[in-house]
Amino acid sequence: MEKKIAVYICTGCGIGDALDIDALSKVAKGEFKVPICKTDGQLCGPEGVALIKQDIENDGVDTVVIAGCSARVNYDVFKFGSDKIVERVNLREQVIWCHTADDEDTQMLAEDYMRMGLVKQKNMNVPEPYHVESFSRNIMVLGGGLTGLTAALESAKAGYSTILVEKEAELGGYVGKMYKQVPMKPPFTDLEENCIPNLVKAVEDAGVKIYKSATVENTAGAPGMFDVTIKQDDGTVQERVGAIVLATGAKPYEADKLGHLGFGKFPNVITQSMFEEMAVAGTPEASKVAFIQCAGSRDQEHLPYCSAACCIESIKQALYVKEKNDEANVYVYYKDIRSNGQYEHFYMKAQQEGVVFVKGDVTEITEEDGKLTIEADDKTMGTTSLADEFDYVVLANGMVPTAALGDLMEEESTTDEAAAACDEPKASTPPIIKANLLNLVYRQGPELPALKYGFPDSHYICFPYETRRTGIYAAGVVRAPMDMLSAVEDGAGAAMKAIQCVEVTEKGEAVHPRSGDMSFPEFNMNRCTQCKRCTEECPFGAINEDEKGNPLPNPSRCRRCGTCMGACPERIISFKNYSVPMVGNMVKAIEMPEEDEEKPRILIFACDNDAIPALDMAGINHMQYNSWVRIIPLRCLGSLNLVWINDAMGRGFDGVLLMGCKHGDDYQCHFMKGSELAEIRLSKISETLDRLGLESERVRATTVSIMDYDKIPAMLDEFAADLEELGPNPMKDFQ
Amino acid sequence: MRYSYYPGCSSEATAKANAHSIEGVAKALDVQLEEIPDWNCCGASVASGVVGDFTQLVVTARNLAIAETKGLDVVTGCSSCYMTLAVANKKFKQDEHFRAKANEALAAAGLNYNGTLQVRQFLDVIINDVGLDKVAQKVKKSLDGLTVAGYVGCQTVRALPFEFDDPEQPVFMDRLMEALGATAADFPMRARCCGSSSTIPARDIVLDLGYKIFESAVAGGAQVIVTPCPMCQLNLDAYQSLVNRKYGTNFNIPVLFFTQLMAVAFGLSLEDQAFKYSIVSPYEALVQYSK
Amino acid sequence: MVTPDKERAAEQAVPHSFKKKRGDNYFMEQKKIFSEPVKYDLTFAREIYRLENGSYIKQCMNCGLCTVSCATRDVMEYPPRQLFNLIKLGKKEEVLTSNTFWSCTSCCTCKARCPRGIPIIDVMHDLKKYAIEYGYTDYPQAAFYKAFWTEMSSRGKMFEGGMTARYFLTRGLDEIVKAMDMKDVGISMLKHGRMPLLPPKKIKGLGGLKKIISKAQELDRKEAAR
Ligand code: SF4
Ligand code: SF4
Ligand code: SF4
Ligand code: SF4
């Protein structure tokens, strides 16, 4: 069906003063023959919106192109129903606020953006949501410790049928076996009774379906339709659930490896959990006890990371000793006391109770007549210390996530011909540890991809619970080392995420970060060569494959990043409103001045998540940069298809710049691997460019975060200056 | 505006200039200061090192108890007195156990203090009660062209941090100098220590610290240093020559109470300006402003 | 604008003739404390914790802010933090013979900055009192402090002349000789009318004041005994 297009140019916010609006209208009316093209002094005002609505009503307009402010603002104002296409041409943040008013080049820029917007809408269709069959709204929580119980309770309280799976015979996990717990409420100074019994009762009362002594044999499917096979002694059960919270916790670090601290040598050198057991049985009468912090943690030979909870756990146990015997001498040997947040009060409380904190490294532990002696380097005094007569030495032996316990999955060697024929370099596959927790029936492996130290990969800053398997949310100490207060918050947070997931999946929308997006990748299978690019590169394991190697997409697992689209050498993957031809045509819509006009052109592919906001911010702050640039937003740099760069260079662009998020271990990429993949692809194209006699420096990738907005002008101007040195793209002549 | 006034021991000896200029400036600004009858020494930062905090605070509180019978807030022109009075006052207000115990001791002389007063510094009163606008209106002879290092020192701002100004880099002294028409010197040492009472037992502390302060004031282009504190004034004025001797320097920078400069700008009497007590002569630097 | 950098630079702009090679590394270089490893004997610490502000020391988290802030850190044998650690180590002699608390000028910088809210200057005052009580009075400051208090409590007001005289009386002739180059200061003070030769009048309520003092000390003793 032919689209009914209308273009609205806003002249407010100074746009009318800075640009020649008539000329701009001519682009729409003349070049593109758009039937309706109107201007308004304030399009976002009630009259402006009414004007658009009127045309929709009276003239059956279904495609609205608004030339004015950035799509990042007023999106709620310009909302005309999901059956309409709304395209925004950013004349404000990216044109008039950062380029000279009343200027030939600024005007050319605005007109190009108008052309790009019009071409874009031509290549777009209204997305139809994907609906899961036999959809389930149930939430499954894996692990019945503090985090899991909290998650299950929150989910049940919110009205979702909840299933809890615990591998031990009793609920409660590590915390359940404690004598007392660290404070969880203000003033954060006093020991508290163990909260687990009450929590278990609340979970039972809330009607959570509980499987004890149970493990997950396998997990198949996708959000809204996970089929989980649960194994108990007496056989297996299958449950269909919509989303999963992984809260399988951590294990104490193996104390047997801590022989240098006397463990295994002297019976009274014990671990935190052993001390906890003793306390449950009745804290031993002791007149001198030492706690040794970071026993194994923050140690390159053992656990390189901080286990986060052991400082306050030792403080708690020190108070057990004081509780029993006020006169007891209690020492804590530490590197740094990491009593985060409110636990600073707890630390101070222990100090006030007379627990002595010694900043120092323990060098040796010896024993005589059952009493222990600790030799240490006292860091604040710069001396060695020798304290003796200890009844017990307790090692704060840290924690290892259950996700890290298992063998690393072997990378399968590709013998596939089609794959071998595809000569692009490959991104590294993420490490997957066979930890026997989820046993996913995914082509990409049975567990969650890990980032570092075996903790599941997640976008740590922006959405920590989202793992790289959509619909599965990691929480508590399996996700990152943390204290109890954080674990409770995590449990609740992950439960909310799981709920959000089933809700949006039911509507056919994407989860974070493209919330609300209803488009999903569609495959034109006749042309698929089974190269496996898409199945391998999808950061979220959304694409399985059949026996013949054909991709089998799972749209509800998909985050709609477009990485598969960028990866596919045959260019057979596209979205209803985002495709390789769409962007390609936008590139082609940009007018290319003749070489002698001395107006270079720079094409920028900027990631929607951080780079575009940063560019907008630069505009908001009225920072000026050269007006040779033409910016095309991408869902993620991962969706970058190399053909666009070919197109651009062929059309005579003097340079192409990719702006995406930081990658590496501390990546910022909202789709985890997108920006890294884009750079890998880019490394490929530079050879080709060189072969064509085009300097590969003309095509570059850079990383920006939203905080870098103030560096953007310099970044762009520098690139322009470099290009000027290289001279114009020789391909211009062939146009 | 009426206040009880606690002059402090130095007002009768080393810091007569402070007493005179405060009196003159207060009169000019319609601030009535009524001396606390039969006040006693506050003990400064020394007494507690001999007899303990509690005894010193009680001794100090004797003054507050007497002032309370009149019901007027207490103002003092000495930083050290301010510290002891204000800290004692705060304890009376906040610590019930202390209040009961202290009143038991005060009762030995038939006194009692309920903690109803505020303890203020004269500088604080000028800035927050009188206001810089009024100060500016009173200026007869603008100090235009004079660069002043506003040396606030320690206890003025740090006895009770944030009660009055930023404890690290206070600004009010500079604002006050600007209201008089002067330029405030860029003076990072404005709230660092002068060495206090170490002059007698460990003089080098005072000389070393004094050196840093002069160095910084001169680098900031200051022609005069002003301070609200008698101890600072004494150390920087009387020991300047010894600093020069120790470091081979040539500092010759007058050190005045800020109220003295106010007296100059307000065109008050020479008695109020009280230059005659200065050891480093201010006449040269101020000749064009002082009559 | 005064930036922290500038402030730091200004504070360090000194050719420290006086500077001793001490500070946080003090132990590395000298003193018997090194001859054998330390133990953490809490007997002395517990005694100090019982002083008026003593129990605050327990709260120290070893951040060192007091040390870098201290106006007299260059002359202190042990900066405040280290002094507190010495207490923890049970090094009574070292603590009580150190010049640390005597060098403190009560500038309040550490107190204002200590993230743990330790009223460090009040602790210093407690230690002075404790040292005087136990006869650790070798430092000139001890004599000065005592002279100050005697003068003040006998008159109700401070008389510098009297205090100075008392100070030199206790410290002996040596000190006067050392102080000779200060006579210039004294003379110029006299010349400028800032050093009255006669003491101020005693306050009228001196009797009452003395009663207050002895009552306060009695209450203190009672509380300490508890
Ligand atoms: S929480 Fe404390 S003891 Fe545990 S690893 Fe971190 S710093 Fe070490
Ligand atoms: S690569 Fe992105 S768009 Fe493609 S299937 Fe995976 S998540 Fe979806
Ligand atoms: S500033 Fe306070 S907490 Fe830090 S070392 Fe000094 S006394 Fe301890
Ligand atoms: S109050 Fe004393 S210890 Fe604290 S910084 Fe000042 S001089 Fe140093």
Q: A254-397 belongs to which homologous superfamily? A: FAD/NAD(P)-binding domain (3.50.50.60)
- Cite the residue boundaries of each domain of chain C with CATH code 1.10.1060.10: 37-133
A505 in ligand 1 pocket by Cβ < 6 Å?
A: no
Rg, Å, chain A Cα set: 30
What CA–CA distances, in Å, run from A318 to A294, A353, A655, C88, C126? 16, 10, 64, 17, 29
Selecting from B12, B109, B203 the residue whose C-beta is nearest the C-beta of C200 gives B12
Put simply, whether C222 touches B (Cβ < 8 Å) is no
Percent of chain B past pLDDT 70, that is, above it, reads 100
Selecting from C158, C194, C205 the residue whose C-beta is nearest the C-beta of B9 gives C158
DSSP A471-530: TEEE-GGGTS---HHHHHHHHHHHHHHHHHHHHHHHHT---TTSTT-----EE-GGG---
Report chain C residues touching chain A, CB-CB < 8 A. 24-25, 27-28, 33-34, 36-40, 42, 49, 55, 58-62, 81-82, 85-86, 88-89, 116
Position in ligand 2 atom list of the atom nearest CA A559: 7
What CATH number has the domain bearing residue B68? Answer: 1.20.1050.140
Average pLDDT score over residue span B187-208: 88
Ranking A317-321, B21-25, C156-160 by mean pLDDT, the lowest is C156-160
Taking the CA of residue C58 and the nearest CA in chain B, the distance in Å comes to: 19
pLDDT at C226 over 80: no
Question: Cα(B27)–Cα(C97) distance, rounded to whole angstroms?
Answer: 51
The number of C-alpha atoms within 13 Å of C190 and in the hemisphere containing its C-beta is: 9
A481 in ligand 1 pocket by Cβ < 6 Å?
A: no
Cβ density class A692-718: b for 16+ within 10 Å, e for less: eebbbebbbbbbbbbebbebbbebbee
pTM: 0.86
Put simply, whether C133 touches B (Cβ < 8 Å) is no
Neighbours of A299 (CB within 10 A): 15
Name the nearest CA neighbour of A478 among A145, A189, A160: A145
Taking the CA of residue A330 and the nearest CA in chain C, the distance in Å comes to: 10
Nearest-10 Cα torsion for A144, A145, A148, A150: 120
Name the nearest CA neighbour of A79 among A52, A114, A117: A52
DSSP C2-71: --HHHHHHHHH----TT--S-STTHHHH-SGGGTS-B----HHHHHHHTSTTGGGGGG-----HHHHH-T
Put simply, whether A526 touches C (Cβ < 8 Å) is no
Confidence of residue C2 (pLDDT cuts 50, 70, 90): low
Taking the CA of residue B31 and the nearest CA in chain C, the distance in Å comes to: 26
Report if residue B291 sits inside a domain. no
Three-state secondary structure readout of A669-699: CCCCCHHHHHHHHHHHHHHHHHHCCCCHHHE
Put simply, whether C166 touches B (Cβ < 8 Å) is no
Task: Name the average pLDDT for chain B.
Answer: 94
A459 in ligand 2 pocket by Cβ < 6 Å?
A: no
A579-735 CATH pick, 3.30.1330, 3.40.50, 1.10.3300, 1.10.3470: 3.40.50
Q: Which of the listed residues A311, A483, A486 should we mutate to test ligand 1's pocket, taking the one with most ligand atoms within 8 A of CB?
A: A311
List all residues of chain C from 93 to 112 with a beta carbon under 8 Å from chain B: 101-103, 105-109, 111-112
Number of domains in chain B: 2
Ligand 1: residue whose CA is nearest its atom 8: A294
pLDDT per residue as tens digits for the range C59-105? 999 999 999 999 998 889 899 999 999 999 899 999 999 999 999 99
Name the nearest CA neighbour of A390 among A316, A332, A324, A313: A332
Taking the CA of residue C8 and the nearest CA in chain A, the distance in Å comes to: 23
CATH class of A1-122: alpha beta
A307 in ligand 1 pocket by Cβ < 6 Å?
A: yes
Two tokens, residue A74: 């007023």
- Sheet of A472-474, strands arranged across: A209-211, A162-165, A139-142, A243-246, A472-474
Put simply, whether B90 touches C (Cβ < 8 Å) is no
List all residues of chain A from 316 to 335 with a beta carbon under 8 Å from chain C: 329, 331
Q: Which chains touch B (3 or more CB pairs under 8 A)?
A: C
Residues of C in contact with B62 (CB under 8 A): 205, 208-209, 212
What pLDDT sits at residue A344?
95
DSSP A431-482: PBEE-SSS-B--TT-SSPBB-STTPBP-BTTTBTTB-SSTTEEE-GGGTS--
Q: Confirm if A602 and A656 have CB atoms less than 8 A apart.
A: yes
Selecting from A356, A375, A382 the residue whose C-beta is nearest the C-beta of C40 gives A356
- B193 and B61 in a common domain: no
Position in ligand 4 atom list of the atom nearest CA C66: 5
At C101, give phi and psi (nearest 5°): -70, -25
Question: Cα(A5)–Cα(A52) distance, rounded to whole angstroms?
Answer: 11
- B279 and B235 in a common domain: yes
DSSP category for residue A92? I
- Contacts by A21-29, CB closer than 8 A, 24 or more apart: A23/A107, A23/A111, A24/A67, A24/A107, A24/A110, A24/A111, A24/A114, A27/A111, A27/A114, A27/A115, A27/A118, A28/A65, A28/A114, A28/A118
What pLDDT sits at residue A283?
77
pLDDT means over runs of 10, chain A (735 residues): 91 96 96 95 95 95 96 95 94 97 96 97 95 96 98 98 98 97 97 98 98 97 98 95 98 97 96 97 90 97 96 97 94 96 95 94 94 93 91 97 92 53 61 95 94 89 90 97 96 98 97 93 95 93 92 96 95 96 96 90 96 97 96 96 92 94 89 92 84 86 94 95 91 67
Domain coverage including residue B280: 139-286
| Domain final residue, candidates B121, B151, B177 | B121
- B157 and B98 in a common domain: no
Question: Cα(C37)–Cα(B190) distance, rounded to whole angstroms?
Answer: 44
Q: Scan for tokens 């690290």, then name that residue.
A: B168
Neighbours of A456 (CB within 10 A): 27
Q: Identify the CATH number of the domain defined by range C37-133.
A: 1.10.1060.10
A477 in ligand 1 pocket by Cβ < 6 Å?
A: no
At C191, give phi and psi (nearest 5°): -60, -35
- B278 and B160 in a common domain: yes
The distance of Cα B248 from the centroid of its chain, to the nearest Å, equals: 30
| Domain final residue, candidates B62, B94, B121 | B121
Put simply, whether C58 touches B (Cβ < 8 Å) is no
A139-251+402-507 CATH pick, 3.40.50.300, 3.40.630.90, 3.40.50.1100, 3.50.50.60: 3.50.50.60
What CATH number has the domain bearing residue B197? Answer: 3.40.50.11810
Rg, Å, chain B Cα set: 19
- Cite the residue boundaries of each domain of chain A with CATH code 3.50.50.60: 139-251+402-507, 254-397
Q: Which residues line ligand 3 (CB under 6 A)?
A: C 60-66, 80-81, 110, 114-116, 118, 120
pLDDT at B47 over 60: yes
At A588 the three-state DSSP class reads helix
C207: nearest CA in chain B?
A: B109
A180-181 vs A192-193, strand pairing mode: antiparallel
Q: Scan for tokens 């022609």, then name that residue.
A: B223
What pLDDT sits at residue A733?
64
| Domain final residue, candidates B72, B90, B121 | B121
Position in ligand 3 atom list of the atom nearest CA C110: 1
- B150 and B117 in a common domain: no
Position in ligand 4 atom list of the atom nearest CA C109: 5
What pLDDT sits at residue C28?
39
- B255 and B163 in a common domain: yes
DSSP run (H or E) holding A236: strand A235-241
Percent of chain C past pLDDT 90, that is, above it, reads 47
The distance of Cα A176 from the centroid of its chain, to the nearest Å, equals: 31
C88: nearest CA in chain A?
A: A356
Handedness of CA B225, B227, B230, B232 (dihedral sign): negative
A346: nearest CA in chain C?
A: C59
What pLDDT sits at residue C32?
40
Neighbours of A60 (CB within 10 A): 8
Confidence of residue C31 (pLDDT cuts 50, 70, 90): very low
- B7 and B97 in a common domain: yes
Neighbours of B181 (CB within 10 A): 16
Whether the ω angle into residue A304 lies within 30 degrees of 0, i.e. cis, is no
Q: Scan for tokens 């603590």, then name that residue.
A: C95
Name the nearest CA neighbour of A351 among A327, A330, A378: A330
Name the nearest CA neighbour of A91 among A111, A69, A76, A75: A69
CA A300 to centroid of ligand 1, rounded, Å: 14
List all residues of chain B from 99 to 118 with a beta carbon under 8 Å from chain C: 101-102, 104-111
Neighbours of A298 (CB within 10 A): 17
Selecting from B53, B161, B278 the residue whose C-beta is nearest the C-beta of C52 gives B53
What pLDDT sits at residue C24?
42
What pLDDT sits at residue C25?
43
